[in-house]
Amino acid sequence: MFNSSILLKEYNLKVTPQRVAIVEELYKNGHMNIDDLYKNLLEKFPSISLATIYKNVNAMVEKIFLNEVKVPDAKTVYELVKEEHSHLVCSSCGKIEDIIIDTSVLNNTLSSVSNFKIDNTEVVFQGTCEKCQ
């Protein structure tokens, strides 16, 4: 069973009602930008500020509890950290899906061609989802 309080403690993050709510929203919705998080959390916490959301999300990104996903031509979205994966982004509706692909061949090729040591790979594919085709 998913327990956001235990997860926050495992990452040495203070457990607050706002942080628990952020984690639960991301668990429920997958990928969310700050504005959508704010809109959803206002229902539960009418006095919450946008600054509080930013502060908490940034703290969770720093502790590598949340991933920051930069989507071309859209607002940055956040997700709970999970196994390494890439993203499929629909250019029509904006839907974001996770996809697990092996990037090691690409990383090895780039390293050998450029003599550059790859530490991290973030891949975002843009196209049209099945629903929008």
Q: How much is the pTM?
A: 0.82
Q: Which long-range contacts (CB under 8 A, 24 or more apart) does 32-35 make?
A: 32/77, 32/78, 32/79, 33/74, 33/75, 33/76, 33/77, 33/78, 34/75, 34/76, 34/78, 35/75
Q: Is 63 annotated as a binding residue?
A: no
The reply to whether 86-127 shares the fold of 4-80 is no
Domain 4-80 has CATH 3.30.420.40: no
Q: Is 132 annotated as a binding residue?
A: yes
Residue 132, both tokens? 């929008």
Q: What is the pLDDT of residues 40-64, one digit of tens each?
A: 999 999 999 999 999 999 999 999 9
- Identify the CATH homologous superfamily for domain 86-127: Ferric-uptake regulator, C-terminal dimerisarion domain (3.30.1490.190)
Categorize the per-residue pLDDT at 74 as very low, low, confident or very high, splitting at 50, 70 and 90: confident
DSSP β-bridge partners for residue 125 = 88
Residue 20, both tokens? 């628990």
Q: Is 93 annotated as a binding residue?
A: yes
CA–CA separation, 112 and 20 (whole Å) = 44
Categorize the per-residue pLDDT at 13 as very low, low, confident or very high, splitting at 50, 70 and 90: very high
- Domain map (residue ranges) of the chain: 4-80, 86-127
Cβ(22)–Cβ(60) below 8 Å: yes
**Across residues 10-31, what is the average pLDDT?**
96
Cβ(63)–Cβ(23) below 8 Å: no
